[in-house]
Amino acid sequence: MSFLFGNRSAKTFKPKKHIPEGTHQYDLMKHAAATLGSGNLRLAVMLPEGEDLNEWVAVNTVDFFNQINMLYGTITEFCIEESCPVMAAGPKYEYHWADGHVVKKPIKCSAPKYIDYLMTWVQDQLDDETLFPSKIGVPFPKNFSMIAKTILKRLFRVYAHIYHQHFAEVVQLGEEAHLNTSFKHFIFFVQEFNLIERKELAPLQELIEKLTTTNAKDPTLQR
């Protein structure tokens, strides 16, 4: 599979972000994985008793980055400049990229370019020990909640693009159950801790209602 991002084309998409073994966050990650294994997603997202909320949000944000990274990686051959000239989630929602630092004024760009910018930006945040400390005793920044909310809001846009523009390819690859489970986990998590505003979730609101209120095995967007 090729990854065509101009001069970045030599890279495969993004390396998986690892939480160091031996850290408390690693233990939390193992706890999260074990609870997920029970199949009860609502239970899996709840803050474990006695744990720090920032650490729990940090561990899960890393996990969602890895999940979305992998899911998007399977459909990059379909998400190209020609088929996705803008970063859209259906006809009503279009996203322009800005990170507030390097790109201060939002720029219109293709979906693959937007997602490359987005995932690179998220990875830079996750790798910054002042924002996402992995060592015990190193405090999270005071604005950590805002940082995490921005990351999760932007990661949601990748799900939204995949569902609206590439669901047929996901079905073709036989990955719709995996995508639905990953997205359902993501939604339960952001709802549990009120991490994404409802208006930001609008592109997938109908799907969110289906996933969170029914036991449908293969919910899809009504076209």
- Could you list the residues known to form a binding site for Zn(2+), using ranges: 79, 84, 161, 166
Cα separation, 205 vs 210, whole angstroms: 9
CB 13 within 8 A of CB 119: yes
Residue 187 has which token pair? 């939604």
Interior angle at CA 70, CA 188 and CA 157, nearest 5: 55
Distance CA 88, CA 95 (A): 6
Annotated binding-site residues read 79, 84, 161, 166
| Residues 95-121 as b or e (16 or more Cβ within 10 Å = b) | bebebeeeeeeeeebbbbbbbbbbbeb
For 98, residues 6+ apart whose C-beta sits below 8 A from its C-beta are: 104, 105, 106, 107
